[in-house]
Chains A and B, each alone.
Chain A
Amino acid sequence: MKDLLTTTRRQLLSLVGAAAMTAAVSAPALAQTGDYPNRPITFICAFPAGSGADTLVRYFANAIQEATGHTIIVDNKPGAAGTISAEYVARSDPDGYTVYVHSGFSTAVNYSLWNNPAIDPRTDLRGVAGINEQPFFIVVGVDSTIQSIEELNAYLLAEGENATYGTSATSGRLLAAQYLSELGATPTEVPYRTGIEMVPDVVNLAVDFAVTDPVTAMVQAREGRLRVLATGSGSRMDIAPDVPSLTEYGMTVDQVGVWAAWVPAGTPDDVVATLAEMFGTVMQEQETQDFLRTMGGVPWIATPEEVDQRMRENVEQGAFLVDLAQLPRN
C-alpha cells in the first residue's frame, strides 16, 4: 500500500514538473500570439443555461469546435439584463480566450439605462463577427377590426389616450416609442414581462395593438391568433416578406436587434482576425443560416470593423430612443 502511494506521488510530481516546463516554454510563445488558440476558449452567455439564447451561443460553440478542433466552453453569467456578463468580458484579459456572444443592441441600450454604466461598449469591447439581425413587429389580435397599419394609424390618431398597446422587453418599448412619436399618437402603454404573457390580452383585444419579438410574432401568427401589421426594421425582412416596413409609410424607424461576438477592447488584431475567421467559416454554412432563421432572425455576416461601426450607431440610437421613450436611468 505504502509503495503504491509513493509511486503515485512520484508520478504526480513528475507530471506537475512536466506541466510547469510546458507552461514555461509556451509563455513567451503566447506573447507572439502565433499559436492562438492554445487552450480552451470561453464563450460568455448572458442568459441561463438551457434558455433560447443559450441554445444560440452553444450552437456556435459546437459548430466552431467541430470546424476547427479547438475546445470551446460556454459559461453562463446571467443577471441585470446582460450588464453582469458584459462587464465580466470587458474586464477579462484581452487575449482572445473570453468571447462575448450577445445582442449588441441591448448592450448598447444598457449604456443609456444606467446613471453609471459599468462599461462603454464602444471603447471597452471590440467586435469580432456578426451573427443575426432580429426585427420587432407590430401586431393586433386576429379578431381585431384593424386590418392594416394604415387602419391602425388612423385608429390611434382618432382615439388618443383611450387606445392601449402592449409591450414586452425594452426593445419593444423603444420601437413603440419611436413609431408613436413619428405618428404623433399618444395611446396608453401596458407593459408585460414576456411576449407570451402578453398574447392573451392581444388575442382577447384587451389591448388595441402590441409590439413583440420575432419569435412570438411568427409563432402566434402561424397559430392564427395574431395578425402582423408591420416590422420596425428599416426594410422588409426575408423571414416575413409580406410584412411592410414602417419606412414604407414615411416614418423614420429603423430598429433591429443584432447579435454578434465581442472580445475585450485590447485584444490584438491577429487574434481578432483568427476568431473572426472561425465565426466566418460557420456563418457560411447553410445549416447555420437555417438555424438562425428558426431563432427569428436573419443571418448577419459582418467583419470586425462592421460590428464596431454598428455598436457605435446602436449606442447613439439607444441614447436617442431612451430619451424619446422617457425611460428613467438606474
Chain B
Amino acid sequence: MSDFASNLALGFSVAFSWQAMWYCFVGVSLGTFIGVLPGIGALAAIALLLPLTFGMEPAHALIMLAGIYYGSNYGGSTASILLNLPGTPSSAVTCIEGYPMSQQGRAGVALFMTAIASFIGSICGMLIMAIFSPPIAALAFSFSAPEFFSLMVLGMVAASTLASGSPLKGLAMIGLGLILGMVGRDLYSGLLRFSYGVDQLYEGLPLVAVALGIFGLPEVIKNAGQITGRTVEARSISFASMWPTRDDWRRSWGAMFRGTGLGSFFGALPGTGGLLASFMSYATERRVAKDPSRFGKGAIEGIAGPEAANNAAVQTAFIPTLTLGIPGDIVMAIMLGALTIHGIQPGVSVINNHPDLFWGLLVSFLLGNFLLLILNIPLIGLWVRILAIPYWVLYPFIIAFICIGVYSVSNSVVDLYVLMFFGVLGIVMNILRFEPAPLVLGLILGPMLEENLRRSLTLYRGSYTVFLTRPISALFIGIAVLILAWTIYGMFRARARRRAALAAGEE
C-alpha cells in the first residue's frame, strides 16, 4: 500500500509540473476540437502531432497524445447529439438517443449527462488501471510466447465477431489484415516478404499511412458528399437548460456504472475497445429497462451508459499497452511507436523501468478529465460554434493535414502512395460494408501473432498442445472458443427466426 502511495506521489509530481499540465491542456482541448468535428478522429490528430513530440520529454509527449485520445471521446458526442453525426466512431451509439433528445429541446441535458458519464467512466477506468496494472505487469514476467499468442487470438476473435456488422466479414477483414502484416522482413529468416523491391517496406507497411488511408480519407470523402447545410443554435444551450431532472439522474446512475464495468473490461482486452463497449452498454440498458419502448425516443440512460463505457475503455486500453506491450488498437499502436521513438522499448518493463512515465500519465488522466469537465460543460457553446465551420473550408485542410502527418512520420514519399492505395481500398470497403477496424487490428497484431506462434513452437519443440497445457494460455483460448460458439449460435438463431418470420408471412 505504501508502494501504491509513493507511486501516486511520483505520478503527481510528474503530472502537476507546469509543462505537463500545459501539454495535458493542449491535448484535451485539441482532442475535444477534433472530436467535435465529424469525420476526423483522434488518429489523424495524433499522427500529425507525433513528430512535434520528438523534442519533448517522453512523459509529456505521452500525456499530450493521450489527452487528444480521451478528449476526442468527450467531444465526439457533441456532434452526435446536435447533428445526428458521430464525431468519432465510438460515439455513434450516442446518436440513437441523443438526437431525439435534442429534437425535444433537451440537447443541453444530453450534453451535460454525456460529460458527467464520460467523467465517471474515465475516473473509474483510471482507478482500475492504477489498481490492476502493477499485478498484471508482475504476472507478465511469467508470460511467454504461448500466452501472448493466445491473448492476441482472444482479442482478435472478440473484436471481429462481437462488433456490429457481420461476424464473417469481420473475420475476413482480420484475415486480410494478418496477410498485410506479413509484408516486410521476416524475423526468423531475415528475408523480405511481399515487398516487391520497395526497400521502404523493409519494416512492414507503414501503420499510420494505412490507418489514415483506410479510416481518414473515406470518412472525409463520404461526409463531403452527403452533408450540405447545418443549423445549430449555439444560443439555445444555456447553462440552465443543461441541468437534468431528478428523474434523469435516477435513470442514469445505474447505467453509468454498468457502462463503466463493460467499458473497463473491453478496453483492457486487446483488440476490442470503446466502440464495442458502447454498443454492448446500449444493448444492456435496453435489456434491463423496465420500459424498453422509450428507447430510440430520447432515453437518457441510452446516453449515460455508452458514454461511460467508451471513456472507461479508453483508459483501460492503456493496461495491455503499457504492461504487456500489446497495443489494442491503432491509437495505442501509435503510442507504442512514440515510446519506441523516445528510446523506451515497449514491453513488460515499462511500468518497472519508467515508473515516472506510467504514474505520471495515469495522474494526468485525472487532471485531464477535470479539464474536460470544464471544457465540456461551461464552455460547450464554444464547441458548438465550431460545428458551423463549412465543410468546404474544413475538408481540404483535413486532407492536407493527413498527408503532412503521414509524410512526417519517416520523411518518405512511399508512405503517401500507401496512404492513397488504402484510401481507395477504404472507400471500396465502405461501399461493400466491410469494417476497417478489424483489418487494421490484424495488421498491428499480425507480426506479433506470427512471431509468438513460431516462437512457441520453437521453444516447445513443435508441440501445438502447449497453448492448452499452460493454464493462462488455455484460459484465453477457452474464452475465445466460447465467444465463437456464441456467435455461431446467434447466427443460426437469427436465420431460424428469419425463416419462421418468412413462413409466418406466407401463411
Interface set of A (CB-CB < 8 Å, partner B): 48-52, 55, 75-81, 83-84, 113, 164, 170, 173, 188-197, 199-201, 203-204, 206-207, 219, 223, 327-328, 330
Check B192 for interface membership: any CB of A closer than 8 A.
Answer: yes
Q: Mark B212-251, 1 if CB is under 8 A from A, else 0.
A: 0000000000000000000000000000000000000000
List 19 other contacts, CB 8 Å, given A84-B199, A199-B348, A201-B459. Answer: A48-B341, A50-B54, A50-B341, A51-B340, A51-B341, A76-B410, A76-B411, A79-B200, A79-B203, A79-B412, A80-B199, A80-B203, A83-B202, A84-B200, A113-B190, A164-B459, A196-B346, A206-B144, A327-B189
Check B392 for interface membership: any CB of A closer than 8 A.
Answer: no
Residue contacts A-B, CB under 8 angstroms, 21 given = A49-B341, A51-B342, A52-B343, A78-B410, A79-B200, A79-B203, A83-B202, A113-B190, A164-B459, A170-B190, A173-B190, A193-B187, A193-B451, A200-B348, A201-B145, A201-B459, A206-B144, A328-B189, A328-B190, A328-B191, A330-B192
**Interface locus among B83-91, B135-143, B398-406:** B135-143
Interface pair B203/A199, CB less than 8 Å apart: no
Residues of chain B within 8 A (CB-CB) of A84 are 199-200
Interface pair A191/B188, CB less than 8 Å apart: yes
Interface pair B410/A197, CB less than 8 Å apart: no
Known: A193-B451, A206-B145. A81 touches B202 (CB 8 A): yes
- Give the 10 A-B CB pairs with smallest separation, nearest first: A196-B345, A80-B202, A50-B54, A52-B343, A50-B341, A80-B199, A49-B54, A196-B347, A330-B192, A206-B144
Known: A194-B345, A206-B459. A48 touches B410 (CB 8 A): yes
Residues of chain A within 8 A (CB-CB) of B142 are 204
Interface set of B (CB-CB < 8 Å, partner A): 51, 53-55, 140-145, 187-192, 199-200, 202-203, 325, 340-343, 345-349, 352-353, 410-412, 451, 455, 458-459
Residues of chain A within 8 A (CB-CB) of B143 are 200
Interface pair B347/A330, CB less than 8 Å apart: no
Residues of chain A within 8 A (CB-CB) of B347 are 194, 196-197, 199-200
Residues of chain A within 8 A (CB-CB) of B341 are 48-51
- Which residue, of A170, A194, A195, has the highest number of chain B Cβ atoms within 10 A? A194
Q: Separation in Å of the B439 CB from the closest CB of chain A?
A: 22
Smallest Cβ-Cβ distance to A193: which chain B residue: B187
Smallest Cβ-Cβ distance to A161: which chain B residue: B461
* Chain A interface helix/strand/loop/mixed: mixed
Residues of chain A within 8 A (CB-CB) of B200 are 79-80, 84
Please measure, in the bound complex, the distance between the C-alpha atom of A143 and the C-alpha atom of B345, giving whole angstroms.
23
Interface pair B190/A83, CB less than 8 Å apart: no
Residues of chain A within 8 A (CB-CB) of B410 are 48, 76, 78-79
Smallest Cβ-Cβ distance to B412: which chain A residue: A79
Interface pair B345/A195, CB less than 8 Å apart: yes
- Choice from A196, A201, A206 contacting B349 with Cβ under 8 Å: A196
Q: Separation in Å of the A299 CB from the closest CB of chain B?
A: 20
Please measure, in the bound complex, the distance between the C-alpha atom of A327 and the C-alpha atom of B191, giving whole angstroms.
9
Known: A76-B411, A80-B202, A328-B190. A50 touches B141 (CB 8 A): no
Q: Separation in Å of the A124 CB from the closest CB of chain B?
A: 16
Smallest Cβ-Cβ distance to A81: which chain B residue: B202
Residues of chain B within 8 A (CB-CB) of A49 are 51, 54, 341
Please measure, in the bound complex, the distance between the C-alpha atom of A49 and the C-alpha atom of B408, giving whole angstroms.
10
Known: A164-B459, A203-B141, A204-B141. A79 touches B199 (CB 8 A): yes
Interface pair B191/A51, CB less than 8 Å apart: no
Interface pair B140/A190, CB less than 8 Å apart: no
Interface pair A83/B145, CB less than 8 Å apart: no
Known: A49-B54, A77-B411. A55 touches B349 (CB 8 A): no
Q: Separation in Å of the B199 CB from the closest CB of chain A?
A: 4
Interface pair A200/B144, CB less than 8 Å apart: yes
Residues of chain A within 8 A (CB-CB) of B411 are 75-77
Q: Separation in Å of the B355 CB from the closest CB of chain A?
A: 13
Interface pair A204/B345, CB less than 8 Å apart: no
Interface pair B144/A50, CB less than 8 Å apart: no
Q: Separation in Å of the A114 CB from the closest CB of chain B?
A: 9
Residues of chain B within 8 A (CB-CB) of A199 are 347-349
Q: Separation in Å of the B68 CB from the closest CB of chain A?
A: 18
Known: A200-B144, A204-B144. A51 touches B348 (CB 8 A): no
Please measure, in the bound complex, the distance between the C-alpha atom of A265 and the C-alpha atom of B199, giving whole angstroms.
23
Interface pair A190/B455, CB less than 8 Å apart: yes
Please measure, in the bound complex, the distance between the C-alpha atom of A48 and the C-alpha atom of B140, giving whole angstroms.
29
- Choice from B340, B353, B458 contacting A188 with Cβ under 8 Å: B458
Residues of chain B within 8 A (CB-CB) of A51 are 340-343
Please measure, in the bound complex, the distance between the C-alpha atom of A102 and the C-alpha atom of B436, giving whole angstroms.
39
Q: Separation in Å of the B486 CB from the closest CB of chain A?
A: 33
Smallest Cβ-Cβ distance to A219: which chain B residue: B353
- Which residue, of A48, A77, A81, has the highest number of chain B Cβ atoms within 10 A? A48
Smallest Cβ-Cβ distance to B193: which chain A residue: A330
Interface pair B140/A200, CB less than 8 Å apart: yes
Residues of chain A within 8 A (CB-CB) of B191 are 328, 330
Please measure, in the bound complex, the distance between the C-alpha atom of A189 and the C-alpha atom of B459, giving whole angstroms.
9
Residues of chain B within 8 A (CB-CB) of A75 are 411
Please measure, in the bound complex, the distance between the C-alpha atom of A170 and the C-alpha atom of B190, giving whole angstroms.
9
Q: Separation in Å of the B231 CB from the closest CB of chain A?
A: 38
Q: Separation in Å of the B31 CB from the closest CB of chain A?
A: 22
- Which residue, of A76, A80, A327, A328, has the highest number of chain B Cβ atoms within 10 A? A80
Q: Separation in Å of the A44 CB from the closest CB of chain B?
A: 11
- Choice from B187, B342, B352, B412 contacting A50 with Cβ under 8 Å: B342
Residues of chain B within 8 A (CB-CB) of A193 are 187, 451
Residues of chain A within 8 A (CB-CB) of B144 are 200-201, 204, 206
Residues of chain B within 8 A (CB-CB) of A55 are 343
Residues of chain B within 8 A (CB-CB) of A219 are 353
Smallest Cβ-Cβ distance to B200: which chain A residue: A79
Smallest Cβ-Cβ distance to B345: which chain A residue: A196
Please measure, in the bound complex, the distance between the C-alpha atom of A330 and the C-alpha atom of B191, giving whole angstroms.
6
Please measure, in the bound complex, the distance between the C-alpha atom of A286 and the C-alpha atom of B97, giving whole angstroms.
67
Q: Separation in Å of the B501 CB from the closest CB of chain A?
A: 52
Residues of chain A within 8 A (CB-CB) of B325 are 197
Please measure, in the bound complex, the distance between the C-alpha atom of A194 and the C-alpha atom of B51, giving whole angstroms.
23
Interface pair B190/A190, CB less than 8 Å apart: no
Residues of chain A within 8 A (CB-CB) of B340 are 51
Known: A190-B459, A201-B144. A83 touches B343 (CB 8 A): no
Residues of chain B within 8 A (CB-CB) of A80 are 199-200, 202-203
Residues of chain B within 8 A (CB-CB) of A192 are 187, 455
Residues of chain B within 8 A (CB-CB) of A196 are 345-347, 349
Known: A52-B343, A200-B140. A327 touches B145 (CB 8 A): no
